[in-house]
Chain A
Amino acid sequence: MASLRFRVTPWSLGELRAVASHPLSMSRFRGRGRGAKRKHPGVSPGRKLRGSSTSWWILAVSKSPGGVRLVRRRAAFLTQGRCDQHWKKMPAPATTYERIVYKNPSEYHYMKVRLEFQDGGVGLTAAQFKQLLISALKDLFGEVDAALPLDVLTYEEKTLSAILRICSSGLVKLWSSLTLLGSYKGKNCAFRVIQVSPFLLALSGNSRELVLN
């Protein structure tokens, strides 16, 4: 008994019993061939170890290079009475909450953009602005994607800035066509995308424009 070393592992009961019932794991005498299927005298699974203060149960006998090790588990977790006492100490949850997750993403995406000309002083009406957007889409993605439901929600002629609304599947196409738009009526221009969000409310405030003190 003294030569045996113990090791505790958190195995489940079924696994331990499966290991214990395996003939190889029962063999004490290694190297004697596969036929050596002798059980340990006095040591077998499901048997209480004598001479120990706490009730240890031998659940399996496992083979290892250093010698025979016993895998054991404290009986306190197995017996019914002690388990109940253990669980009673934990407080029950006072309120139950329900978490609702919406998987459907937003249908539209909103973009805040500004048109910059290389040499200033070019004025565009709202209709011309929208025509420019549609021609950019048509240039890169053709007639099919020029017909995407695109709306100009607000437009300021002085600063040439606008808020656009596009369906979510067409956001990438619109953004890439705005990026690749180079000129309007022979004058070089560029679109600056200031903010993109699936929620219109997010475009109302921008932390970059926040003025402190």
Chain B
Amino acid sequence: MVRFKHRYLLCEVVSDDPRCRLTLEDRVLGTLVRDTIARVHGTFGAAACSIGFAVRYLNAYTGIVLLRCRKEFYRLVWSALPFITSLENKGHRYPCFLNTLHVGGTIRTCQKFLIQYNRRQLLILLQNCTDEGEREAIQKSVTKNCLLEEESAGEELSDSGGEETAEPME
């Protein structure tokens, strides 16, 4: 059928500074990505990518960003993401970079990937954590995830469960 097809880029904002993620806002990030595309791909790139561009999902705790762009120009957007070097908010500049995790055609596929990714991240956190209290919290959420996985596709529950436990690690 005739419709506009999009590509959803699932990215993670990685930074040394823990305050960087908390200052994330969807409008700020959107303008930052648009300016970067204009710098890297010129007027043509800026015009082509900004038609269907939107920041669909933003999680300040884990730094997960979901960007939407048109299918014909998603490569222009994707190639401009490595050129983002710093996030500027309220006069503070934090060096960071965007790590692209997944490119999907729909939000649902990106969500599925995100759930699996969060589960794997929990296990990695469990290995690396040092504090006993945190270790217990992570173990609890891991078992909760496994139970939920066996029960049904309770996607939203496990997603939020994964994010809550990631917070004390920051």
A contacts, CB < 8 Å to B: 138-145
Q: Closest CB of chain B to A80's CB: distance in Å?
A: 61
What secondary structure prevails in chain A residues at the interface with B?
A: helix
| Cross-interface CB contact of A140 among B37, B42, B79, cutoff 8 Å | B42
The docked-state distance in angstroms from the alpha carbon of A139 to that of B47 is: 13
Interchain CA distance A142-B40 in the complex, whole Å: 5
Question: What are 7 sample pairs from A and B whose C-beta atoms fall under 8 A apart?
Answer: A141-B44, A141-B45, A142-B40, A142-B45, A144-B41, A144-B79, A145-B42
Q: Does B152 contact A (CB under 8 A)?
A: no
In the complex, are the beta carbons of A142 and B38 less than 8 A apart? Answer: yes
Chain B 31-43: CB-based contact to A (< 8 A → 1; otherwise 0): 0000001111111
Count CB-based A-B contacts (< 8 Å): 26
* Cβ–Cβ < 8 Å partners of B41 in chain A: 141-142, 144-145
Q: B interface vs A, CB < 8 Å?
A: 37-45, 79
A79 to chain B, nearest CB (A): 61
B44 and A140 contact, CB distance less than 8 A: yes
Q: Max chain A CB contacts within 10 Å: which of B37, B45, B79?
A: B45
Tell me the complex Cα distance, A141–B39, Å.
9
In whole angstroms, how far apart are the Cα atoms of A98 and B60 in the complex?
A: 68
Set of chain B residues within 8 Å of A144, measured between Cβ atoms: 40-41, 79
Contact B40 A140 (CB under 8 A): no
For B37, what are the chain A residues with a Cβ–Cβ distance below 8 Å?
Answer: 142
Report Cα–Cα, A145/B76, bound state, in Å.
12
A140 touching B43, Cβ below 8 Å? yes
Closest to A143 in B: B40
Which residues of chain A are near B79, meaning CB under 8 Å?
144
Q: Which A residues are in CB contact (< 8 Å) with B40? A: 142-144
How far, in whole Å, are A30 and B142 apart by their CA atoms in the complex?
80
CB distance from A100 to the nearest CB of B (A): 36
Q: Which 4 A-B residue pairs are closest in the complex by CB-CB distance?
A: A142-B42, A142-B41, A141-B42, A142-B40
